[in-house]
Amino acid sequence: MSRPKFVAGNWKMYTTRAGAVDLAAAVAKGLPAGGKTRVAVCPPFPWLTAVADALKGTPVAVGAQNCHFEKEGAFTGETAPGMILDAGCQYVIIGHSERRHGFGETDGLLNKKTKAALAAGLSVIFCVGELLAEREASQTEKVLETQLTHGLADLSAAQLEKVVVAYEPVWAIGTGKVATTEQAQAAHAFIRQKIAGQFGEKAAAGLLIQYGGSVKPDNAAALLHQPDVDGALVGGASLKADTFLAIVAAGG
C-alpha cells in the first residue's frame, strides 16, 4: 500500500504569539505547489487560535500538544479535546516522551486521552518509544509492545484510521543523537507488525508511522525513505521555517 508522508512540527514551549503566527505563515508560504506531503504544526496552547486563523485556507493543519480526557469539568489548568477542536485544530499529540517521563503519564491515562480525543473528532499523533537504558538492555520491542497494547486498548480498526503513531526513541530527543536508518526502520516495522496483530493487516498497512528524534534536513531524506517510515515528528528543527520546510521537502 502506498502511504502519504506526514511531517508535523512540535513547537513545545517556545515562540511568542507574533513569532508563532509568522512561523506558521512562513511554513504555509514555503510549501511547494502540489506537494504531496501532509504538514501540521503544533503550537503552544495560547497560540492555537491565532495560528489556526493564520493557516485558514492553506494545506497546513494545526495540532495541540496535549489534552485532558474529560469533556469539561473542574480540572484547573487543563484543556478538553473539544476546546482544542473549537480552537481550529485537527490533531493532538498524545503520549510524547516529555509527558510520559517528565509528567508521569501512564499508558492507562494516555488510552483515556486517546479515546476522548477521537470521540471529540480530533486525529491523534500517538507517541511511543524507549529510553536509552531500555534499548541497551534489548527491551525496545517489549517497551513498544506494552505502549501500543495498553495505549491503544479497546480502539476499533475504524478509530485507528484517525491515529498516527510516532516512534520517538527517547535517547534521541533533543540530544542531537539520531537512530540509524536501520534502527528506525526496524522499530517502525515492529510497530506495524504489532498493529497488524492488534487491529488487522489492513489497518496496519494504512497506518502512518512517523519518526521523531533529532530529525534535521541532513538526515531527513535517509529516514523518510525507509519502507515503514511515513514521516516525521519534528522538534527543534520545526522552529525555523527553512529547516522545517527542508524536512518536508525530503519526504518527496
Tell me the catalytic residues. 96, 168
- Closest C-alpha to 30, from 41, 43, 17, 15: 41
Residue 235 marked in a binding site? yes
Residue 121 marked in a binding site? no
What is d(CA 39, CA 220) in angstroms, rounded to the nearest whole number? Answer: 15
Residue 11 marked in a binding site? yes
Residue 10 marked in a binding site? yes
What is d(CA 79, CA 134) in angstroms, rounded to the nearest whole number? Answer: 32
- DSSP annotation of 90 reads S
Bridge partners (DSSP) listed for residue 144: none
Residue 240 marked in a binding site? no
The span from the first CA to the last CA of the chain, in angstroms, equals: 17
Q: What is the DSSP string of 10-35?
A: E-TT---HHHHHHHHHHHHHHSPTT-
* C-alpha cell belonging to residue 116: 476522548
Q: Exposed, middle or buried: residue 139 (CB in 10 Å: 0-12, 13-18, 19+)?
A: middle
- Closest C-alpha to 112, from 11, 120, 140, 191: 120
Helix, strand, or coil (residue 63): strand
Q: What element of type H or E holds 69?
A: none
- DSSP annotation of 56 reads T
Residue 171 marked in a binding site? no
Annotated binding residues, written as ranges, equal 10-12, 174, 214, 235-236
Annotated binding residues for substrate, written as ranges, equal 10-12, 174, 214, 235-236
